[in-house]
Amino acid sequence: MRTPYGVECQYFYGDYRRGRKHEECRLIGSAPKPHHWTPDLCKTCPVPGILLANACPNMELRPQVTRGFLGFMRRVQVSAYCRKVRQDVSEPHIGCGECHTLPEIFIKNSK
């Protein structure tokens, strides 16, 4: 579903039927304040970019809403964990490097 800022995200849900305006992020969930989700977080959220770059089914995203300098500018920071190799992923856009290795044809031609 499209976020309020026009980016496609599988974790965003909006119910607008019959005059309703219910929006939620199913990845962040219903965390207590000040770490709760609000629609303005979708503007700078890295999750849609990560999902577009890496669709690994073994990668588990762990979001955290943080505050910037002096408590202003709340942002979503994402860490990732690979369930297959059971380790943290340093770069979620790329992945762990173990789940999706390059085919042999690319390895032979690069030498």
Grade residue 108 by pLDDT with cuts at 50, 70 and 90.
low
SS3 content of the chain, % helix, strand, coil (to 5): 20, 25, 50
27-31, 45-49, 75-79, 81-85: least confidently modelled range: 27-31
Question: Which tokens belong to 108?
Answer: 């032979």
Return d(Cα 64, Cα 4) in angstroms, integer. 20
Predicted confidence (pLDDT) per residue in 58-92, tens digit: 999 999 999 888 778 899 999 999 999 999 999 99
Return d(Cα 74, Cα 95) in angstroms, integer. 26
**DSSP category for residue 3:** -
Is the pLDDT at 101 greater than 80? The verdict is no
pTM recorded for the entire structure: 0.80
Domain boundaries, the chain: 29-109
